Amino acid sequence: MSSVESLNEDQSQSLSDMMTSLGKAARAAMPALANAGTEVKNQALLEMAKAIRAQSKEILTANAQDVAKAKANNISSAFLDRLILDEARVESMAAGIEAIAALPDPVGDVMDNWDRPNGLKMSRVRVPLGVIGIIYESRPNVTADAGALCLKAGNAVILRGGSESFESSRAILTCLKTGLAAAGLPDTAIQSIPTTDRAAVGILLQDMPEYVDVIIPRGGKSLVDRVQKEARVPVLAHLEGLCHTYIDRDAEIGMAKSIAVNAKMRRTGICGATETLLIDKSIAGSHLPEIVDALADRGCEIRGDAESRAIDSRIKQATEDDWHTEYLDSIVSVKTVDGINGAIDHIAKYGSHHTDSIVTDNSETAEKFLSQVDSAIVMHNTSTQFADGGEFGMGAEIGISTGRLHSPGPVGAEQLTTFKYVVRGSGQVRP
Amino acid sequence: MSSVESLNEDQSQSLSDMMTSLGKAARAAMPALANAGTEVKNQALLEMAKAIRAQSKEILTANAQDVAKAKANNISSAFLDRLILDEARVESMAAGIEAIAALPDPVGDVMDNWDRPNGLKMSRVRVPLGVIGIIYESRPNVTADAGALCLKAGNAVILRGGSESFESSRAILTCLKTGLAAAGLPDTAIQSIPTTDRAAVGILLQDMPEYVDVIIPRGGKSLVDRVQKEARVPVLAHLEGLCHTYIDRDAEIGMAKSIAVNAKMRRTGICGATETLLIDKSIAGSHLPEIVDALADRGCEIRGDAESRAIDSRIKQATEDDWHTEYLDSIVSVKTVDGINGAIDHIAKYGSHHTDSIVTDNSETAEKFLSQVDSAIVMHNTSTQFADGGEFGMGAEIGISTGRLHSPGPVGAEQLTTFKYVVRGSGQVRP
């Protein structure tokens, strides 16, 4: 679709001008951000947290407006749960920003150092990515997290949250800008698109390669699909997490059960939750009923193939769609497979390159799985729910990238940087 | 433009089917390539070199056809020089592939290793990028280099060379496939688009995100611009090299002269050649004439701003266009600037984020330049002509990436990989 099809000429021109001015301002903020020292950035972050606490009432009032409007539009309870703020959630946003301040600053980090025979001293040094566009769902806390993480890595950011959280995000953005100002940083370091017009997203994706270095879409499959299809700038895609746990013939039953239950049921709404259990045909008869017991006890619906249903009648019939579905709910699909090769083939066909785990006591089988499964995160004898920047020791994250380029897996402050080569000589010329 | 505008419906359908089958075959080759050991890949490379030597006559015959056609079309001598092969050049292609075989295999390299407090053992391991599309000019040797480098990094590649080198590339591709077959690797690991129809490039850029992970455009500005504008898959852009050498007020005159001459004149046709000399106003009077002497002695035309022309009348008038121009020829533009800040501002405005160098004995000024100039490669007291994978110690390269994402700077075998996280547990579940 044309990015401006729903607008008349004047409107589209003014929208386009507005977006260009956001882009120019972000680009102009880059040098100040790239050269801001760690202390200045951290001061800004701490002042942001302070402002969020101080303006908690204003944020909650704005959020109440969003919530009232959303309720009038009959949104789902899961959607409402992500949208709604209370004092505890506001405090947790502020604490989250303080945690980002406490992280190491990736910018300026010397990644490599080597000397050449001609005496040239080479190094590779981390620098900010530049200007980042982040498009996300109606979750006001992402405004705070994403803005703070981008600043930590020295980037300028243009945020575009879901339209249902417009007022909440605006109130939070005010606090972020208070922090920037207190540290003497340009307040255009963190900007938000000041309209809910969807055509603005089209302009961001297609018409601003001069001003935007990378787009990060965060959210459901349809959003990410749209961004990947329309974007004319590089995309760090955060696709769905269609994660698998494979129970191998050499799995210890107790471990298999506890990992399967945790991977599926600990929290069903996160992208690292397992959606499909694969089980080696040769041990399905002995292992599956115990696993089904444990899942059913916790209220999980189980949908399986004919072989698994023949073993346990509590399993409902799965359709082809089930293997493609990220439930994000208390539902799991179960497929019997022909050993490790069957598991690898199933994941290659249906997986989303996010996170997949094998349970086995056979280290050879485990290594085969780890090397041949083509996902950002591959695991052995542990739960896919560990697919999380915090659990990896990386601190806060924007999400889990499922793209191949740049940085698959959790995207934290370090992954929001790139590098440059620095070459120091003493007059060398090339022969 | 629509990728198929010049074709009728049947033709465009068959072209599209052909491209899809290339894409599917490349995707299908991925697991075999990702899991091929170093020895198998090196065996294939050595067999490729052997086949190129053995079929030298066939390659030269094919090249003669290309050259005859190109001459009939009145191509430039620079173009002809890149297109034409002789025995020495064929031997150098074979030797180049052997050098790639001798490089370390990046795949499987453990980049990081760390343990979590819960006992999870984390690592980050290099894996191939996947399927790469490379679009390049009419230089037959690139077919050999690019095919071999992609294989070394475990990638499948779809090549598209300039149409004027069609027959030469086809003959070289035959040798590459001989090598793949000898090592038992799928011959679809290296494919070439078997038509000179430009619409095929449009399909590669726009219609194949399912099969192609990244596009690398190599060549002139108009090609790279087209690719960046049209591509629906990530692009590792190899933009022009509008490189600067800045002579600071604290530069030693002898070093400044030798670096300026080498940076411009050693080879004028490479992307790391300096195109603009920036000189600190405060020392232009004392330093510029000597530098102009040295450049003019070597046949270099010099175009400058009014201030530089007032100092040295041999300098011709530069226009605004000159600051934007990658001459790739014995021409240099000279601009007097207001110290380090003036140099940084000029490079920010006109540079192409490729390679820029400062000549100064003042380490504080040097560090400011190195940190504030936003290019893939920044240098101090050395020649921009060192911007080359081989000179960096990385071995062969596809080119110098000027994009921010993934891997700015020289793109060799290691930069043609990505990574995955491997998590090894002993039954851990997430609390």
Spatial separation of the C-alpha atoms in residues A12 and A22, rounded to whole Å: 15
Q: Identify the band that residue A11 occupies on the pLDDT scale cut at 50, 70 and 90.
A: confident
Mean of the per-residue pLDDT values for chain B? 94
**Same domain, yes or no, for A260 and A116?**
no
Element (H, E) at B32: helix B9-35
Residue B429 lies in a domain: no
**Same domain, yes or no, for A248 and A210?**
no
Residue A328's CB: how many other CB atoms inside 10 A? 17
Query: How high is the ipTM of this complex?
Result: 0.92
pLDDT at B12: 78
Query: Which of A120, A232, A427 has the CB atom closest to B258's CB atom?
Result: A427
pLDDT at B240: 81
pLDDT at A1: 35
A203 to chain B nearest CA, in Å?
14
User: CATH code at A105?
Assistant: 3.40.605.10
Query: Which of B34, B378, B405 has the CB atom closest to A420's CB atom?
Result: B378
Residue pair A330/A266 in contact (Cβ under 8 Å)? The answer is: no
**Same domain, yes or no, for B217 and B289?**
no
Q: Identify the band that residue A228 occupies on the pLDDT scale cut at 50, 70 and 90.
A: confident
Packing angle, helices B140-152 and B166-182, rounded to 10: 30
**Same domain, yes or no, for A85 and A211?**
yes
Rg (CA), chain B: 24
Element (H, E) at A430: none
A32 to chain B nearest CA, in Å?
10
Residue A404 lies in a domain: no
**Same domain, yes or no, for A136 and A273?**
no
Element (H, E) at A169: helix A166-182
Residue A371 lies in a domain: yes
Residue B85 lies in a domain: yes
Task: Give yes or no for residue A231 having a pLDDT over 90.
Answer: no
Q: Of B10 and B250, which is predicted with more confidence?
A: B250
Residue B345 lies in a domain: yes
Give which of A290, A303, A282, A304 is closest to A260, Cα–Cα: A290
Strand partners for A278? A246, A335
pLDDT tens profile B288-315? 999 999 999 999 999 999 999 999 999 9
Overall domain count for chain A: 2
Task: Give yes or no for residue B367 having a pLDDT over 90.
Answer: yes
Residue B430 lies in a domain: no
- B62 residue type, one letter: A
**Same domain, yes or no, for B273 and B196?**
no
Task: Give yes or no for residue A316 having a pLDDT over 80.
Answer: yes
Asked whether the beta carbons of residue A382 and residue B429 sit closer than 8 angstroms, the reply is yes
Q: Identify the band that residue B3 occupies on the pLDDT scale cut at 50, 70 and 90.
A: very low
User: Among B17-26, B237-246, B320-329, B416-425, which stretch is predicted with the lowest mean pLDDT?
Assistant: B237-246
**Same domain, yes or no, for B229 and B312?**
no
**Same domain, yes or no, for B229 and B321?**
no
DSSP B346-399: HHHHH--SSEEEEE-S-HHHHHHHHHHS-SSEEEEEE-GGG-STTTTT----SE
Asked whether the beta carbons of residue B421 and residue A376 sit closer than 8 angstroms, the reply is yes
DSSP state of A273: S
Strand partners for A418? A127
pLDDT tens profile A93-123? 999 999 999 999 999 999 999 999 999 999 9
Ramachandran angles phi, psi of B166, nearest 5°: -55, -50
Task: Give yes or no for residue B4 having a pLDDT over 50.
Answer: no
pLDDT, average across residues B33-59: 97
DSSP state of B57: H
Mean of the per-residue pLDDT values for chain A? 94
Burial classification of residue A163, based on how many CB atoms lie within 10 Å of its CB (0-12 exposed, 13-18 middle, 19 or more buried): middle
User: Among A59-73, B218-232, B256-270, which stretch is predicted with the lowest mean pLDDT?
Assistant: B218-232
In our burial notation (b when 16+ CB lie closer than 10 A, e otherwise), range A394-406 reads bbbbbbbbbbbbb
What would the two tokens of residue B94 be?
């074979």
Element (H, E) at B316: strand B316-317
- Structural domain range at position A151: 9-238+411-421
All residues of chain B having their beta carbon less than 8 Å from the beta carbon of residue A421 are 376-378, 392, 408-409
Residue A427 lies in a domain: no
- Using CA atoms, how far residue A323 sits from A23, A333, A384, in Å, is 41, 7, 17
A86 to chain B nearest CA, in Å?
25
User: CATH code at B271?
Assistant: 3.40.309.10
pLDDT at A8: 67
User: Among A172-181, A205-214, A321-330, B8-17, which stretch is predicted with the lowest mean pLDDT?
Assistant: B8-17
Residue B43 lies in a domain: yes
pLDDT tens profile B230-276? 888 888 877 788 999 999 999 999 999 999 999 999 999 889 999 99
**Same domain, yes or no, for B251 and B233?**
no
pLDDT tens profile B395-414? 888 889 998 999 999 999 99
**Same domain, yes or no, for B114 and B93?**
yes
pLDDT, average across residues B173-188: 98
Give which of B12, B71, B45, B351 is closest to B197, Cα–Cα: B12
The strand pair at B110-115 and B121-128 is best described as antiparallel
Spatial separation of the C-alpha atoms in residues B32 and B16, rounded to whole Å: 26
**Same domain, yes or no, for A266 and A304?**
yes
Instruction: Cite the DSSP H helix spans in B107-165.
Output: 140-152
Spatial separation of the C-alpha atoms in residues A189 and A183, rounded to whole Å: 12
Asked whether the beta carbons of residue A423 and residue B379 sit closer than 8 angstroms, the reply is yes
Spatial separation of the C-alpha atoms in residues B69 and B260, rounded to whole Å: 39
Q: Identify the band that residue A7 occupies on the pLDDT scale cut at 50, 70 and 90.
A: low
pLDDT at A269: 86
Spatial separation of the C-alpha atoms in residues B309 and B179, rounded to whole Å: 58
**Same domain, yes or no, for B195 and B259?**
no
